[in-house]
A and B are shown apart, each in its own frame.
Chain A
Amino acid sequence: MRKDGTFIGVEVDDAVAGDAALAAKLREVCPVDIYSDADGRVDIVEGNLDECVLCRLCLDASPAGTVKVLKLYDNEAVLA
């Protein structure tokens, strides 16, 4: 699943999107509410995407490579 704002895009690997524990964790860690927990599934709140502060907390909370934060203003550079 991928959703884009004007400046920031977020991609969550479909293989982990249904992980209820991950959905709850992402919702908890993101300081600007970019993730929501939709009945145990990860969802991305499109309206909040451009508020991303590039803090990497979502990357640390998920299995490596399953969540990507993309800087749309920088040739879709992936937040490492």
Chain B
Amino acid sequence: MRFFEYEAREIVKRAGIPVTDYGFTTDASEARSIAERIGGPTVIKSQVLTGGRMKAGGVKFADTPEEAEQHAADILQLEINGHQPRGVLVDPKAEVEQEFYAGVVWDGTRKRPVMIFSPVGGIDIEQVAEEQPDKVGRRHFSNILPFGDFEAKEVIASTGVTGSDLNKLVPIVTRLARLFVDNDMTLAEINPLGKLKDGSFVALDAHMDMENEARGRHKKLLKDLGVGDEETRQAREATEFELAGEAVDAASHRGVAGNVTEFDGDLGLVIGAGGGSLTLFDAVRKYGGRPANYCEIGGNPSVEKAKGLAKLVLSKPGVDKIAVMMSIVSNTRVDIVARGVIAACLELGFDPAEKIAIFRIPGAWEEEGFKILEKYGVEYADRSVSMHEAARRAVEKIQGGVTA
């Protein structure tokens, strides 16, 4: 879940990291008041959840409050990569001596956060890593054990920063690492982290991304920031189909049947269980299939919930068949999912045997589940058929012949 810059700055500020005396507004005349309060040149920055705002004219410099108001009015009208600005951030134009970079990102491979620091900031860290690799320090750290400031010191010092700068940067990077863990972030980045003429450091821009599943643990923060429950804040806006998937999942507390992502294929997927969704999605693609969606089902949802998800997928324009596939289930019941997907077909007026390309869910209550599938003539497979083989059969069926 991504945050707007003005929200990310607030998170940084709450963590005790110095920020500029900025202001956020949705109103051009208020931008003028903020600029008056700041006194001096300002930067007016569009607040959008997309890149390329500088190029699109979403960042402008103002010497006077009047100019700030005019720029704010212009920027508020701008559409950047299809995004309407949430508002504008009015920031003092800081006298910066040097720009640094400080970030923490979740390393999905190592399953730990990695702290990244560079004395070359203000540009993409990837570019710095490529052009000046000795100027980028990295260090993984534990998100379970308490973070020690020596860890920050090591990373900063590894890039050649010494003396008073090192001493001032250690608490900032330490606080950034702690805020990352405390707020379940997947990305916490300050770029640029500016060194001002007086030798102090201040966060000039920040990017924060929170683990979506952790939203429930941070209700107070989200409420304070004004982030509504309905705001998904993903890399792109949720489609109607995806929002409908969320509604299916939210309709009952039992299990999971949602987390839907829309694709443009013809094979609808009802998939899940212990990483099964990703494996099965990849397997379908491996055999040349075109998934119409990604989703997750598990945790023993009710028949109604499984039915809701299957109906949603079956009703998606372009979906010819669905494949119902999971890894071996223990707490999710095979018979309950079978009832759900068959009921979905029947309620939509489809023949389950025609519409369900394959049902491959082995595990708890499979004997009952298989009896249901047999009655409706649905092809099913037990654990002797691998997930990959099940995916291959589903693709073969929808393509009416040979798979890749």
> What 1/0 flags go to B362-382 for Cβ under 8 Å of A?
000000100110011000000
Partner-binding segment picked from A15-23, A47-55, A59-67: A47-55
- Distance in Å: Cβ of B143 to nearest Cβ of chain A: 37
* Contact indicator B346/A6 (Cβ below 8 Å): yes
Neighbouring A residues of B346 by C-beta, 8 Å: 6
Contact of B343 among A6, A32, A54, A71 (CB under 8 A): A6
Neighbouring A residues of B120 by C-beta, 8 Å: none
Contact of B371 among A6, A50, A51, A73 (CB under 8 A): A73
Which residues of chain B (345-404) have a CB below 8 Å from chain A? 346, 368, 371-372, 375-376
B66 at the interface (CB under 8 A from A): no
* Contact indicator A51/B372 (Cβ below 8 Å): no
* Contact indicator A54/B303 (Cβ below 8 Å): no
Q: Kindly state the separation between the CA atoms of A54 and B334 in the bound complex, as whole angstroms.
A: 13
How many contacts between A and B, using CB within 8 angstroms? 28
- Distance in Å: Cβ of B195 to nearest Cβ of chain A: 63
* Contact indicator B336/A53 (Cβ below 8 Å): yes
A39 at the interface (CB under 8 A from B): no
- Distance in Å: Cβ of B369 to nearest Cβ of chain A: 10
Known: A6-B339, A6-B346, A7-B339. A51 touches B368 (CB 8 A): no
* Contact indicator A50/B339 (Cβ below 8 Å): yes
Neighbouring B residues of A53 by C-beta, 8 Å: 333, 336
> What 1/0 flags go to B318-347 for Cβ under 8 Å of A?
000000000000000101100100110010
* Contact indicator B375/A73 (Cβ below 8 Å): yes
Neighbouring B residues of A74 by C-beta, 8 Å: 368, 371, 375
Neighbouring B residues of A7 by C-beta, 8 Å: 339, 342-343, 372
* Contact indicator A51/B304 (Cβ below 8 Å): yes
Q: Kindly state the separation between the CA atoms of A53 and B376 in the bound complex, as whole angstroms.
A: 20
* Contact indicator B343/A50 (Cβ below 8 Å): yes
Known pairs A51-B303, A51-B304, A74-B371. 4 more at Cβ < 8 A?
A7-B339, A32-B302, A50-B303, A73-B375
Which residues of B does A touch, CB under 8 Å?
302-304, 333, 335-336, 339, 342-343, 346, 368, 371-372, 375-376
Which residues of A does B touch, CB under 8 Å?
6-7, 32, 50-51, 53-54, 71, 73-74
Q: Can you offer 9 A-B residue contacts whose CB atoms are under 8 A?
A: A6-B339, A6-B342, A7-B339, A7-B343, A50-B339, A51-B302, A53-B333, A74-B368, A74-B375
